[in-house]
Amino acid sequence: MRPQSENFKELARKNLANEGQRKILNQFSLILKALRDASFTTLPDEKAALEKGRRIREDAIKNLPYLLEMFEENATKAGAKVVWASDARQANDFIVSLAKEKGANLCVKAKSMISEEISLREEFIENKIETYETDLGEFIVQQAGKTPFHIVGPAINMTIKEVSDLFNKVIGLPETEDPTELAKGARMFLRDKFRNAQIGISGANMAVAETGSIILVENEGNIRFATSAPKTHVVLMSIEKVVPTISEAAYMLKLLTRSCTGQRISNYVSVITGPKKAGEIDGPEELYIVILDNGRTKIYADEVLRSALQCIKCGMCAAVCPVYTHVGGYSYGWVYSGPIGAVLNPLLLGLDKARDLYHATTLCGACKDYCPAGVDVRNIVLDLRAKEMDGDRSFDAEAPPALVKIFYRIWAWVLLDYSRYKIASRIMRIVMPFVIKYGKASNLSDRLIQWTRCRDIPQVAPKSFHETYSELKK
């Protein structure tokens, strides 16, 4: 998926103007929050549960190198072939050449954000391997030539009518506004693809170090089909998916499905440990697990930023984000959207290519309150802004113009002494009305004008509290 995060402002402006989409986003957020809250009441203590989730994920990320090696060892013992890919190119090259080696011309795909990140489907199609997304939402998105709107609900922004028109056009389904009929149409269309595909590709919700298992969570059954019918199953996972034990995985599963869709458990949970064994009827003959880094080791190396890797991709943060619920998923310009996208996209693409994402946040912190994995988006955002201000190139931050730095330097200097602060506030009182009235030349006055676009500028009090206080004392 081609990154467009640089165009956040423009994309956000366009999406804000889309009234229909805004309505869907409102509904989506309202319903999901209610379902989620209801599902959490079945746990004895929501706060304690979230805290436990945070601890499990934080510890897993802390011990990442060790856990990954343990996972590799145990997955290999179970008969899987583990392949390490340092970037998108390596992962794509390996999977494409494997598919060719197996003589594959048809591939079924389960939903995987990592595959979007490395544009695997596009690579397959370029290499003349017919490839189908089999998750209903992703199938719609693929057929419509769009990109996922939300990490969990890739097509939530589309209306039934739009899907009906699309299915009529691409799979010849008679027009219907019955969602069950539409889903059935997609299922019938995909049935033969599952049966005839030589290769199935999935992501991984979790990888269990102690058993070498992959856990896949879904509601439609397409993942189980795609990972068991074809002779070769390729798992594409990123390095942070690993958890130490099955019991910790089971606990995270409780939090994942509740936060994802408000379900206590999803319709299907597959635990895949190695390929089909002797005497087993179902399952692939070969299982490959591609473990992708693609910039994550660098994130791991930073003690503040690594919290971003704790994310289990439930998508709840987006539903409670005041920015996401207004600008929608496309505005983020790349695979990940919502609060986690606001930090992951810059970290993976480079801060200079997604600068707006970590600035376009109110810092309200709702994402952190709802996160089942303890990702502290707020602090990561502030850290990225500090990296930018310092011109720290470790994540390709572009330092702000010298004038901005001088502006803040003066500001800090003013705050260090009340007499300077007082002079500054006097100057502000004199200058501000003129700036608002006449000044459009400077960056500063442009920012003031942005405020006044929809709000009255607050009147500076004739006397500050500081000055009033002396009179109050009497």
Contact set with other proteins (CB under 8 A): 9, 12-13, 16, 322-323, 326-327, 356, 359-366, 368-369, 382, 384-390, 408-409, 411-412, 414-418, 421, 425, 428, 447-448, 450-461, 463-466, 468-469, 472
Q: Which of residues 11 and 216 has its CB atom nearest to other proteins in the complex?
A: 11
Q: Which of residues 411 and 434 has its CB atom nearest to other proteins in the complex?
A: 411
Tokens of 87: 């970037």
**Alpha helices (runs of H) in 106-170, residue ranges in sequence order:** 113-118, 120-126, 136-144, 160-170
**Residue 39 C-beta: closest distance to other proteins, Å:** 19
Alpha-carbon distance of 245 to 74, in angstroms, equals: 12
**Residue 389 C-beta: closest distance to other proteins, Å:** 4
Alpha-carbon distance of 316 to 337, in angstroms, equals: 11
**Residue 125 C-beta: closest distance to other proteins, Å:** 35
Alpha-carbon distance of 426 to 128, in angstroms, equals: 70
Q: Which of residues 47 and 161 has its CB atom nearest to other proteins in the complex?
A: 47
Sign of the alpha-carbon dihedral angle for 177, 180, 183, 185 = negative
Alpha-carbon distance of 225 to 233, in angstroms, equals: 11
Q: Which of residues 438 and 465 has its CB atom nearest to other proteins in the complex?
A: 465
**Residue 14 C-beta: closest distance to other proteins, Å:** 11
**Residue 44 C-beta: closest distance to other proteins, Å:** 20
Alpha-carbon distance of 8 to 1, in angstroms, equals: 16
Residues sharing a CB contact under 8 Å with residue 2, sequence separation 6 or more, in sequence order: 119
Q: Which of residues 266 and 464 has its CB atom nearest to other proteins in the complex?
A: 464
Q: Which of residues 76 and 464 has its CB atom nearest to other proteins in the complex?
A: 464
Tally the C-alpha atoms within 13 A of residue 400's C-alpha that lie toward its C-beta: 18
Alpha-carbon distance of 377 to 393, in angstroms, equals: 21
**Residue 259 C-beta: closest distance to other proteins, Å:** 17
Tokens of 425: 């506030």
Residues sharing a CB contact under 8 Å with residue 458, sequence separation 6 or more, in sequence order: none
Q: Which of residues 101 and 456 has its CB atom nearest to other proteins in the complex?
A: 456
**Residue 432 C-beta: closest distance to other proteins, Å:** 11
The torsion angles phi and psi of 315, rounded to 5 degrees, stand at 85, 0
**Residue 405 C-beta: closest distance to other proteins, Å:** 8
Residue 246, CA distances (Å) to 52, 72, 239 in order:
15, 15, 17
Q: Which of residues 180 and 459 has its CB atom nearest to other proteins in the complex?
A: 459
